[in-house]
Amino acid sequence: MEIDYVKLGKRIRRIREDRELSQEKLAKKIGVSMAHMSNIENGKTKFSLPVLISIADTLGVTPDVLLLEQVNAREKTRGVLIQQVDEQLAECDEAQIFMIEEIVHSAKKLMVEYEKRVRELKK
């Protein structure tokens, strides 16, 4: 499998911007030049695994989150999906988190009921 460095760079940029971190600060924290950081985000250069890990650590994500665009959505690991949900929840206040939990609980209950009906119809 080939790594799509353009998609990877775009994902790095989006997460960096979500963290309100400048490109210059990220470059400084991971020990690369501003030009190299720009080339990474624009997909103009390949970079090493240690650089990928440094970027992930600095952005507070795991490397698989950065590489997510490289795999089909159906192939996402449970851990990646949970981390993405956790990132969304981090931006919520307590009332929003409570509401989301209620929605998830209700959705899960409906899915179980639906699956039960489907099984009964197949009999």
Q: H helices within the chain, ranges in order? A: 5-18, 23-30, 34-41, 49-59, 63-66, 78-90, 94-122
Range of the domain at 53: 5-73
The CA distances from residue 72 to 8, 46, 67, 75, in Å, are: 14, 21, 11, 5
User: What CATH number is given to the structural domain containing 32?
Assistant: 1.10.260.40
pLDDT of residue 71: 55
Residue 105 placed within a domain: no
Q: Judging by beta carbons within 10 Å of its beta carbon (0-12, 13-18, 19+), is residue 37 exposed, middle or buried?
A: buried
Residue 36 placed within a domain: yes
The predicted-structure confidence for 50-106, as pLDDT tens digits, reads as follows 999 999 999 988 888 888 766 554 456 677 778 888 888 988 999 999 999 999 999
Task: Identify the CA nearest to 21 among candidates 30, 90, 67.
Answer: 30
The predicted-structure confidence for 8-56, as pLDDT tens digits, reads as follows 999 999 999 989 999 999 999 999 999 999 999 999 999 999 999 999 9
Number of domains in the chain: 1
Residue 113 placed within a domain: no
Residue 34 placed within a domain: yes
Residue 111 reports pLDDT greater than 60: yes
- Contact at 8 Å (CB) between 63 and 53? yes
Residue 85 placed within a domain: no
In this structure, the number of other CB atoms found within 10 A of the CB of residue 52 comes to: 18
Give the whole-angstrom CA distance, residue 44 versus residue 59.
Answer: 21
pTM above 0.75, yes or no: no
